[in-house]
Amino acid sequence: MHISEGVLSVPVLAAGAAITVAGLAVGIRKVPPKELPKVALLTAAFFVASLVHVPIGPSNAHLVLNGLLGVLLGWAAFPAIFIGLVLQAVLFQFGGLTTLGVNTANMAIPGVVFGLIARRFLSLERSTFSAVIAGFAGGMSVLGSGLLVAISLGLSGDSFSLVSRLIFTAHVPIALVEAFITGFSVRFLLRVRPEMVGCTTPLKTEESAKKTLNAALLALIVFLMIVPQGAQAHRVNLFAWFDGENIVGRAYYLNGRPAMEAVLKVKKEDSTESFHLKTDKEGRFSFTPKGPGNYELVLQAGQGHMAKAVVKIKPVTASRSSKGNGSAQGNADAKAAFYKEKEKPPKEDSVIKGVPGSIKKCQDMEKTLDRLLRRQLEPIRRELEALAVSQSKVTLRDVISGLGYILGIVGIWAYLLSRRGK
Protein backbone atom coordinates (compact mmCIF):
# COMPACT_ATOMS: atom_id res chain seq x y z
CA MET A 1 0.00 0.00 0.00
CA HIS A 2 3.03 2.28 -0.29
CA ILE A 3 2.31 3.71 -3.74
CA SER A 4 5.55 4.89 -5.33
CA GLU A 5 6.43 8.24 -6.91
CA GLY A 6 5.40 8.81 -10.52
CA VAL A 7 2.51 6.32 -10.51
CA LEU A 8 -0.52 8.50 -9.67
CA SER A 9 -2.01 11.38 -11.65
CA VAL A 10 -1.96 14.96 -10.38
CA PRO A 11 -5.72 15.15 -9.56
CA VAL A 12 -5.48 11.97 -7.46
CA LEU A 13 -2.42 13.33 -5.63
CA ALA A 14 -4.18 16.64 -4.95
CA ALA A 15 -7.35 14.95 -3.69
CA GLY A 16 -5.37 12.64 -1.40
CA ALA A 17 -3.38 15.55 0.02
CA ALA A 18 -6.56 17.56 0.72
CA ILE A 19 -8.23 14.63 2.50
CA THR A 20 -5.14 13.98 4.60
CA VAL A 21 -4.81 17.63 5.65
CA ALA A 22 -8.45 17.64 6.74
CA GLY A 23 -8.02 14.35 8.63
CA LEU A 24 -4.87 15.63 10.36
CA ALA A 25 -6.63 18.81 11.44
CA VAL A 26 -9.49 16.86 13.03
CA GLY A 27 -7.24 14.18 14.51
CA ILE A 28 -4.76 16.59 16.13
CA ARG A 29 -7.57 18.64 17.62
CA LYS A 30 -9.22 15.57 19.17
CA VAL A 31 -6.09 14.26 20.95
CA PRO A 32 -5.94 15.28 24.64
CA PRO A 33 -2.46 15.57 26.22
CA LYS A 34 -2.95 12.47 28.40
CA GLU A 35 -3.50 10.36 25.24
CA LEU A 36 -0.13 11.24 23.66
CA PRO A 37 1.79 8.26 25.17
CA LYS A 38 -0.79 5.91 23.70
CA VAL A 39 -0.53 7.65 20.32
CA ALA A 40 3.28 7.32 20.43
CA LEU A 41 3.13 3.61 21.31
CA LEU A 42 0.64 2.79 18.56
CA THR A 43 2.53 4.91 16.01
CA ALA A 44 5.66 2.88 16.80
CA ALA A 45 3.68 -0.35 16.42
CA PHE A 46 2.37 0.79 13.02
CA PHE A 47 5.87 1.88 11.95
CA VAL A 48 7.39 -1.52 12.75
CA ALA A 49 4.47 -3.67 11.58
CA SER A 50 4.52 -2.05 8.13
CA LEU A 51 8.15 -3.17 7.74
CA VAL A 52 7.37 -6.87 8.19
CA HIS A 53 6.25 -8.31 4.87
CA VAL A 54 4.91 -11.69 3.89
CA PRO A 55 5.73 -13.14 0.43
CA ILE A 56 2.47 -13.84 -1.44
CA GLY A 57 2.77 -14.96 -5.04
CA PRO A 58 5.04 -12.72 -7.12
CA SER A 59 4.68 -9.82 -4.67
CA ASN A 60 4.84 -9.09 -0.92
CA ALA A 61 2.10 -7.98 1.46
CA HIS A 62 2.61 -6.37 4.85
CA LEU A 63 0.74 -5.82 8.07
CA VAL A 64 -1.03 -2.46 8.33
CA LEU A 65 -2.72 -2.32 11.77
CA ASN A 66 -4.87 0.60 10.62
CA GLY A 67 -7.94 -1.12 12.08
CA LEU A 68 -6.30 -1.47 15.49
CA LEU A 69 -5.28 2.20 15.40
CA GLY A 70 -8.81 3.20 14.44
CA VAL A 71 -10.33 1.20 17.31
CA LEU A 72 -7.92 2.51 19.95
CA LEU A 73 -7.31 6.06 18.68
CA GLY A 74 -10.33 7.05 16.61
CA TRP A 75 -9.55 10.20 14.65
CA ALA A 76 -6.05 10.28 16.13
CA ALA A 77 -5.23 7.41 13.77
CA PHE A 78 -4.72 10.04 11.04
CA PRO A 79 -1.68 11.74 12.64
CA ALA A 80 -0.33 8.38 13.88
CA ILE A 81 -0.37 6.86 10.39
CA PHE A 82 0.93 10.08 8.84
CA ILE A 83 3.97 10.19 11.16
CA GLY A 84 4.77 6.53 10.44
CA LEU A 85 4.53 7.01 6.66
CA VAL A 86 6.67 10.17 6.72
CA LEU A 87 9.47 8.35 8.51
CA GLN A 88 9.21 5.32 6.21
CA ALA A 89 9.39 7.57 3.14
CA VAL A 90 12.39 9.51 4.46
CA LEU A 91 14.35 6.65 6.03
CA PHE A 92 13.54 3.74 3.69
CA GLN A 93 12.07 5.40 0.55
CA PHE A 94 8.80 3.48 0.90
CA GLY A 95 6.19 5.22 -1.21
CA GLY A 96 7.24 8.83 -1.60
CA LEU A 97 6.70 12.40 -0.44
CA THR A 98 4.36 13.36 -3.29
CA THR A 99 2.21 10.27 -2.64
CA LEU A 100 2.22 10.77 1.13
CA GLY A 101 -1.26 12.30 1.15
CA VAL A 102 -2.81 9.48 -0.89
CA ASN A 103 -1.06 6.74 1.08
CA THR A 104 -2.15 8.28 4.39
CA ALA A 105 -5.76 8.67 3.24
CA ASN A 106 -5.89 5.12 1.86
CA MET A 107 -4.76 3.64 5.18
CA ALA A 108 -6.39 6.04 7.64
CA ILE A 109 -9.91 6.45 6.23
CA PRO A 110 -10.98 2.77 6.56
CA GLY A 111 -9.28 2.51 9.95
CA VAL A 112 -11.06 5.57 11.34
CA VAL A 113 -14.47 4.63 9.88
CA PHE A 114 -14.49 0.99 11.02
CA GLY A 115 -12.72 1.88 14.26
CA LEU A 116 -15.33 4.45 15.27
CA ILE A 117 -18.11 1.97 14.48
CA ALA A 118 -16.43 -0.76 16.54
CA ARG A 119 -15.86 1.55 19.52
CA ARG A 120 -19.63 1.86 19.99
CA PHE A 121 -19.85 -1.87 20.76
CA LEU A 122 -16.92 -2.21 23.18
CA SER A 123 -17.83 -3.04 26.78
CA LEU A 124 -16.40 -4.99 29.72
CA GLU A 125 -19.56 -7.04 30.15
CA ARG A 126 -19.29 -8.48 26.63
CA SER A 127 -15.54 -8.75 26.13
CA THR A 128 -15.72 -11.68 23.71
CA PHE A 129 -18.34 -9.94 21.58
CA SER A 130 -16.27 -6.74 21.70
CA ALA A 131 -13.17 -8.65 20.54
CA VAL A 132 -15.10 -10.15 17.61
CA ILE A 133 -16.40 -6.73 16.55
CA ALA A 134 -12.91 -5.22 16.83
CA GLY A 135 -11.43 -8.10 14.82
CA PHE A 136 -14.03 -7.60 12.11
CA ALA A 137 -13.15 -3.89 12.00
CA GLY A 138 -9.45 -4.71 11.73
CA GLY A 139 -9.95 -7.10 8.81
CA MET A 140 -12.35 -4.81 6.95
CA SER A 141 -9.97 -1.86 7.39
CA VAL A 142 -7.28 -3.74 5.46
CA LEU A 143 -9.67 -4.68 2.66
CA GLY A 144 -11.00 -1.12 2.59
CA SER A 145 -7.49 0.23 2.22
CA GLY A 146 -6.86 -2.22 -0.62
CA LEU A 147 -10.01 -0.98 -2.34
CA LEU A 148 -8.90 2.64 -2.02
CA VAL A 149 -5.47 1.75 -3.43
CA ALA A 150 -7.14 0.07 -6.41
CA ILE A 151 -9.36 3.14 -6.94
CA SER A 152 -6.34 5.46 -6.77
CA LEU A 153 -4.47 3.41 -9.37
CA GLY A 154 -7.61 3.02 -11.49
CA LEU A 155 -8.19 6.79 -11.58
CA SER A 156 -4.57 7.19 -12.68
CA GLY A 157 -4.91 4.96 -15.72
CA ASP A 158 -4.45 1.37 -14.52
CA SER A 159 -7.10 -1.28 -15.04
CA PHE A 160 -9.29 -1.09 -11.93
CA SER A 161 -10.61 -4.64 -12.26
CA LEU A 162 -7.14 -6.15 -12.66
CA VAL A 163 -5.51 -4.11 -9.87
CA SER A 164 -8.37 -4.65 -7.43
CA ARG A 165 -8.32 -8.39 -8.06
CA LEU A 166 -4.57 -8.58 -7.45
CA ILE A 167 -4.72 -6.47 -4.30
CA PHE A 168 -7.75 -8.32 -2.92
CA THR A 169 -6.09 -11.69 -3.50
CA ALA A 170 -2.85 -10.56 -1.84
CA HIS A 171 -4.50 -8.97 1.21
CA VAL A 172 -7.22 -11.44 2.14
CA PRO A 173 -4.71 -13.50 4.20
CA ILE A 174 -3.37 -10.27 5.73
CA ALA A 175 -6.92 -9.19 6.60
CA LEU A 176 -7.50 -12.47 8.44
CA VAL A 177 -4.24 -12.06 10.37
CA GLU A 178 -5.06 -8.44 11.23
CA ALA A 179 -8.55 -9.43 12.37
CA PHE A 180 -7.01 -11.90 14.81
CA ILE A 181 -4.38 -9.39 16.03
CA THR A 182 -6.96 -6.61 16.51
CA GLY A 183 -9.46 -8.85 18.28
CA PHE A 184 -6.82 -10.38 20.55
CA SER A 185 -5.36 -6.95 21.41
CA VAL A 186 -8.76 -5.48 22.29
CA ARG A 187 -9.69 -8.52 24.39
CA PHE A 188 -6.34 -8.25 26.21
CA LEU A 189 -6.74 -4.52 26.86
CA LEU A 190 -10.28 -5.00 28.14
CA ARG A 191 -8.85 -7.33 30.76
CA VAL A 192 -5.76 -5.38 31.83
CA ARG A 193 -6.29 -1.72 30.87
CA PRO A 194 -9.85 -1.11 29.63
CA GLU A 195 -9.48 2.68 29.84
CA MET A 196 -7.32 2.46 26.70
CA VAL A 197 -10.45 1.47 24.78
CA GLY A 198 -12.74 3.87 26.63
CA CYS A 199 -13.98 1.57 29.42
CA THR A 200 -13.72 1.80 33.22
CA THR A 201 -11.17 -0.32 35.10
CA PRO A 202 -12.69 -2.61 37.80
CA LEU A 203 -11.04 -1.89 41.16
CA LYS A 204 -10.68 -5.56 42.10
CA THR A 205 -8.54 -6.35 39.08
CA GLU A 206 -6.56 -3.10 38.87
CA GLU A 207 -3.43 -4.42 40.62
CA SER A 208 -3.20 -7.63 38.60
CA ALA A 209 -3.94 -5.67 35.44
CA LYS A 210 -0.94 -3.43 36.02
CA LYS A 211 1.37 -6.42 36.45
CA THR A 212 0.05 -8.06 33.29
CA LEU A 213 0.36 -4.84 31.33
CA ASN A 214 3.95 -4.30 32.46
CA ALA A 215 4.84 -7.81 31.32
CA ALA A 216 3.12 -7.19 27.99
CA LEU A 217 4.99 -3.93 27.45
CA LEU A 218 8.30 -5.66 28.17
CA ALA A 219 7.43 -8.36 25.63
CA LEU A 220 6.49 -5.66 23.10
CA ILE A 221 9.85 -3.91 23.56
CA VAL A 222 11.67 -7.19 22.97
CA PHE A 223 9.51 -7.79 19.89
CA LEU A 224 10.30 -4.35 18.48
CA MET A 225 14.03 -5.00 18.96
CA ILE A 226 14.09 -8.44 17.35
CA VAL A 227 11.53 -8.50 14.54
CA PRO A 228 13.00 -5.66 12.42
CA GLN A 229 16.16 -7.73 11.87
CA GLY A 230 14.10 -9.88 9.51
CA ALA A 231 12.13 -7.00 8.04
CA GLN A 232 11.05 -7.69 4.48
CA ALA A 233 9.67 -4.37 3.36
CA HIS A 234 8.60 -4.49 -0.23
CA ARG A 235 10.10 -1.44 -1.87
CA VAL A 236 11.18 -2.77 -5.25
CA ASN A 237 14.67 -2.08 -6.62
CA LEU A 238 16.12 -2.27 -10.12
CA PHE A 239 19.75 -3.15 -10.88
CA ALA A 240 20.76 -2.95 -14.58
CA TRP A 241 23.94 -2.65 -16.67
CA PHE A 242 25.34 -3.14 -20.19
CA ASP A 243 27.56 -6.21 -20.58
CA GLY A 244 28.92 -5.34 -24.02
CA GLU A 245 26.16 -6.98 -26.03
CA ASN A 246 22.93 -6.90 -23.97
CA ILE A 247 21.36 -4.84 -21.24
CA VAL A 248 20.83 -7.23 -18.35
CA GLY A 249 19.69 -6.80 -14.77
CA ARG A 250 17.61 -7.92 -11.85
CA ALA A 251 14.55 -6.64 -9.98
CA TYR A 252 14.26 -7.46 -6.28
CA TYR A 253 12.60 -6.47 -3.02
CA LEU A 254 14.49 -5.30 0.05
CA ASN A 255 14.79 -8.79 1.47
CA GLY A 256 16.51 -9.93 -1.75
CA ARG A 257 13.42 -11.80 -2.94
CA PRO A 258 13.10 -11.50 -6.74
CA ALA A 259 10.31 -9.46 -8.30
CA MET A 260 8.93 -12.25 -10.44
CA GLU A 261 7.02 -11.54 -13.67
CA ALA A 262 7.20 -7.78 -13.15
CA VAL A 263 6.59 -5.64 -16.24
CA LEU A 264 9.58 -3.67 -17.51
CA LYS A 265 9.08 -0.77 -19.92
CA VAL A 266 12.14 0.17 -22.01
CA LYS A 267 12.44 3.45 -23.88
CA LYS A 268 15.39 5.08 -25.61
CA GLU A 269 15.70 8.78 -24.83
CA ASP A 270 15.98 9.95 -28.45
CA SER A 271 13.10 7.74 -29.60
CA THR A 272 9.34 7.79 -29.12
CA GLU A 273 9.07 4.02 -29.39
CA SER A 274 9.09 1.72 -26.37
CA PHE A 275 8.61 -1.96 -25.67
CA HIS A 276 7.76 -4.15 -22.70
CA LEU A 277 9.19 -7.35 -21.29
CA LYS A 278 8.80 -9.36 -18.08
CA THR A 279 11.27 -10.53 -15.49
CA ASP A 280 11.75 -14.27 -15.01
CA LYS A 281 11.29 -16.31 -11.84
CA GLU A 282 14.62 -15.01 -10.52
CA GLY A 283 13.69 -11.40 -11.26
CA ARG A 284 16.23 -11.20 -14.11
CA PHE A 285 15.84 -9.77 -17.60
CA SER A 286 17.93 -9.28 -20.73
CA PHE A 287 17.47 -7.57 -24.09
CA THR A 288 19.61 -6.33 -26.97
CA PRO A 289 19.71 -2.51 -27.27
CA LYS A 290 19.32 -0.77 -30.61
CA GLY A 291 22.58 1.10 -30.76
CA PRO A 292 24.26 3.52 -28.33
CA GLY A 293 22.29 5.98 -26.23
CA ASN A 294 20.51 6.31 -22.88
CA TYR A 295 17.91 3.65 -22.15
CA GLU A 296 15.29 4.37 -19.47
CA LEU A 297 13.96 1.28 -17.68
CA VAL A 298 10.72 1.57 -15.68
CA LEU A 299 9.75 -1.45 -13.57
CA GLN A 300 6.09 -1.94 -12.58
CA ALA A 301 5.86 -4.55 -9.81
CA GLY A 302 2.12 -4.12 -9.22
CA GLN A 303 0.08 -2.49 -6.43
CA GLY A 304 1.68 0.89 -7.09
CA HIS A 305 5.31 -0.21 -6.69
CA MET A 306 7.70 1.19 -9.28
CA ALA A 307 11.44 1.57 -9.81
CA LYS A 308 13.50 3.33 -12.48
CA ALA A 309 16.99 2.98 -13.88
CA VAL A 310 18.95 4.50 -16.77
CA VAL A 311 21.59 2.53 -18.66
CA LYS A 312 24.02 4.58 -20.77
CA ILE A 313 25.71 2.99 -23.77
CA LYS A 314 28.54 5.06 -25.22
CA PRO A 315 29.23 4.97 -28.98
CA VAL A 316 32.46 3.44 -30.23
CA THR A 317 35.05 6.20 -30.69
CA ALA A 318 36.98 6.76 -33.89
CA SER A 319 40.32 6.15 -32.18
CA ARG A 320 39.24 2.72 -31.04
CA SER A 321 37.99 1.92 -34.53
CA SER A 322 41.29 2.95 -36.11
CA LYS A 323 43.19 0.75 -33.69
CA GLY A 324 41.05 -2.13 -34.81
CA ASN A 325 41.99 -1.35 -38.48
CA GLY A 326 39.39 1.01 -39.65
CA SER A 327 36.19 2.92 -39.17
CA ALA A 328 33.55 2.50 -41.85
CA GLN A 329 35.20 5.15 -44.02
CA GLY A 330 38.67 3.71 -43.38
CA ASN A 331 37.53 0.26 -44.39
CA ALA A 332 36.06 1.62 -47.62
CA ASP A 333 39.26 3.50 -48.49
CA ALA A 334 41.42 0.46 -47.81
CA LYS A 335 39.18 -1.72 -49.92
CA ALA A 336 39.16 0.78 -52.81
CA ALA A 337 42.95 1.09 -52.76
CA PHE A 338 43.37 -2.66 -52.74
CA TYR A 339 41.05 -3.20 -55.73
CA LYS A 340 42.84 -0.43 -57.60
CA GLU A 341 46.13 -2.27 -57.33
CA LYS A 342 44.74 -5.75 -57.93
CA GLU A 343 42.29 -6.63 -60.62
CA LYS A 344 40.76 -9.55 -58.76
CA PRO A 345 39.40 -9.58 -55.21
CA PRO A 346 41.67 -10.80 -52.44
CA LYS A 347 41.21 -14.13 -50.80
CA GLU A 348 39.13 -14.32 -47.63
CA ASP A 349 42.08 -15.46 -45.52
CA SER A 350 44.31 -12.58 -46.55
CA VAL A 351 46.31 -11.18 -43.66
CA ILE A 352 48.00 -8.22 -45.42
CA LYS A 353 47.73 -5.09 -43.31
CA GLY A 354 44.91 -2.80 -44.40
CA VAL A 355 42.93 -5.34 -46.47
CA PRO A 356 39.40 -6.59 -45.64
CA GLY A 357 40.61 -10.02 -44.61
CA SER A 358 42.76 -8.62 -41.80
CA ILE A 359 39.91 -6.31 -40.75
CA LYS A 360 37.58 -9.25 -40.39
CA LYS A 361 40.20 -11.16 -38.46
CA CYS A 362 40.69 -8.26 -36.04
CA GLN A 363 36.94 -7.98 -35.54
CA ASP A 364 36.70 -11.67 -34.71
CA MET A 365 39.55 -11.32 -32.27
CA GLU A 366 37.82 -8.36 -30.60
CA LYS A 367 34.63 -10.38 -30.15
CA THR A 368 36.60 -13.24 -28.64
CA LEU A 369 38.31 -10.88 -26.20
CA ASP A 370 34.93 -9.37 -25.25
CA ARG A 371 33.55 -12.83 -24.46
CA LEU A 372 36.59 -13.66 -22.34
CA LEU A 373 36.35 -10.38 -20.45
CA ARG A 374 32.64 -10.89 -19.75
CA ARG A 375 33.38 -14.35 -18.41
CA GLN A 376 36.15 -13.01 -16.16
CA LEU A 377 34.04 -10.09 -14.93
CA GLU A 378 30.93 -12.17 -14.21
CA PRO A 379 31.95 -12.97 -10.58
CA ILE A 380 32.60 -9.26 -9.96
CA ARG A 381 29.22 -8.37 -11.40
CA ARG A 382 27.57 -10.92 -9.10
CA GLU A 383 29.38 -9.44 -6.12
CA LEU A 384 28.20 -5.94 -7.06
CA GLU A 385 24.64 -7.21 -7.36
CA ALA A 386 24.81 -8.89 -3.96
CA LEU A 387 26.26 -5.69 -2.49
CA ALA A 388 23.40 -3.64 -3.93
CA VAL A 389 20.84 -6.04 -2.41
CA SER A 390 22.50 -6.00 1.02
CA GLN A 391 22.75 -2.19 1.11
CA SER A 392 19.03 -1.88 0.34
CA LYS A 393 17.90 -3.93 3.34
CA VAL A 394 16.35 -2.37 6.41
CA THR A 395 18.68 -2.66 9.39
CA LEU A 396 17.95 -2.70 13.10
CA ARG A 397 19.71 0.65 13.46
CA ASP A 398 17.34 2.19 10.90
CA VAL A 399 14.29 0.94 12.78
CA ILE A 400 15.60 2.14 16.16
CA SER A 401 16.26 5.54 14.57
CA GLY A 402 12.67 5.63 13.34
CA LEU A 403 11.34 4.81 16.81
CA GLY A 404 13.48 7.58 18.25
CA TYR A 405 12.10 10.05 15.72
CA ILE A 406 8.56 9.02 16.69
CA LEU A 407 9.24 9.71 20.36
CA GLY A 408 10.81 13.05 19.45
CA ILE A 409 7.86 14.12 17.30
CA VAL A 410 5.34 13.16 19.98
CA GLY A 411 7.47 14.96 22.58
CA ILE A 412 7.33 18.18 20.54
CA TRP A 413 3.58 17.64 20.15
CA ALA A 414 3.21 17.29 23.94
CA TYR A 415 5.26 20.44 24.52
CA LEU A 416 3.09 22.47 22.16
CA LEU A 417 -0.07 21.18 23.84
CA SER A 418 1.29 22.14 27.24
CA ARG A 419 2.12 25.64 26.01
CA ARG A 420 -1.36 25.98 24.59
CA GLY A 421 -2.84 24.80 27.91
CA LYS A 422 -0.97 27.50 29.81
Tell whether 1 is covered by a domain.
no
Residue 21 CA to residue 100 CA, distance in Å, equals 11
- Give the confidence band of 297 by pLDDT, cuts at 50, 70, 90: confident
Q: Are residues 68 and 184 in the same domain?
A: yes
Tell whether 412 is covered by a domain.
yes
- Give the confidence band of 319 by pLDDT, cuts at 50, 70, 90: very low
Output 160 or 308, whichever has higher pLDDT.
308
At 293, give phi and psi (nearest 5°): 145, -175
Residue 42 CA to residue 138 CA, distance in Å, equals 14
Beta-carbon neighbour count of residue 215 at 10 Å? 11
The predicted model gives 175-188 an average pLDDT of 88
Closest CA to 182 of 115, 120, 105: 115
The predicted model gives 272-281 an average pLDDT of 83
The predicted model gives 58-82 an average pLDDT of 83
Q: Are residues 68 and 136 in the same domain?
A: yes
- Give the confidence band of 382 by pLDDT, cuts at 50, 70, 90: low
Tell whether 3 is covered by a domain.
no
Which of 315, 338, 357 lies at the terminal end of a domain, its last residue?
315
Tell whether 374 is covered by a domain.
yes
Q: Assess contact for 252 and 230: CB atoms under 8 A.
A: no
pLDDT greater than 60 at residue 210? no
Tell whether 415 is covered by a domain.
yes
Q: Are residues 203 and 65 in the same domain?
A: yes
Q: Check residue 76 and report its DSSP letter.
A: G
Domain count, the chain: 3
Domain that holds residue 267: 235-315
First-residue to last-residue Cα distance in the chain: 41
Query: What pLDDT is recorded for position 304?
Result: 66
Residue 70 CA to residue 32 CA, distance in Å, equals 16
Closest CA to 324 of 287, 362, 286: 362
Residue 82 CA to residue 88 CA, distance in Å, equals 10
Query: What pLDDT is recorded for position 246?
Result: 83
Q: Are residues 124 and 135 in the same domain?
A: yes
pLDDT greater than 50 at residue 113? yes
Tell whether 349 is covered by a domain.
yes
Residue 42 CA to residue 327 CA, distance in Å, equals 68
Residue 40 CA to residue 38 CA, distance in Å, equals 5
Residue 216 CA to residue 223 CA, distance in Å, equals 10
Residue 199 CA to residue 201 CA, distance in Å, equals 7
Which of 274, 299, 315 lies at the terminal end of a domain, its last residue?
315
Q: Are residues 299 and 287 in the same domain?
A: yes
Q: Are residues 267 and 411 in the same domain?
A: no
In Å, how far from its chain's centre is CA 400? 20
Q: Are residues 99 and 163 in the same domain?
A: yes
CATH for 171? 1.10.1760.20
Q: Are residues 118 and 134 in the same domain?
A: yes
Q: Are residues 190 and 244 in the same domain?
A: no
Beta-carbon neighbour count of residue 54 at 10 Å? 14
Q: Are residues 227 and 284 in the same domain?
A: no
Across 330-351, b (16+ Cβ under 10 Å) vs e yields bbeebbeebeeeeeeeeeeebe
Query: What pLDDT is recorded for position 121?
Result: 85
Tell whether 5 is covered by a domain.
no
Q: In what order do the strands lie in the sheet with 306-313?
A: 274-278, 263-268, 293-300, 306-313
Strand partners, 242: 247
Residues in the chain: 422
Q: Are residues 378 and 405 in the same domain?
A: no
Q: Assess contact for 167 and 149: CB atoms under 8 A.
A: yes
Query: What pLDDT is recorded for position 331?
Result: 47
Beta-carbon neighbour count of residue 273 at 10 Å? 8
- Give the confidence band of 111 by pLDDT, cuts at 50, 70, 90: very high
Ranking 200-214, 260-274, 291-305 by mean pLDDT, the lowest is 200-214
Tell whether 2 is covered by a domain.
no
Q: Are residues 375 and 398 in the same domain?
A: no
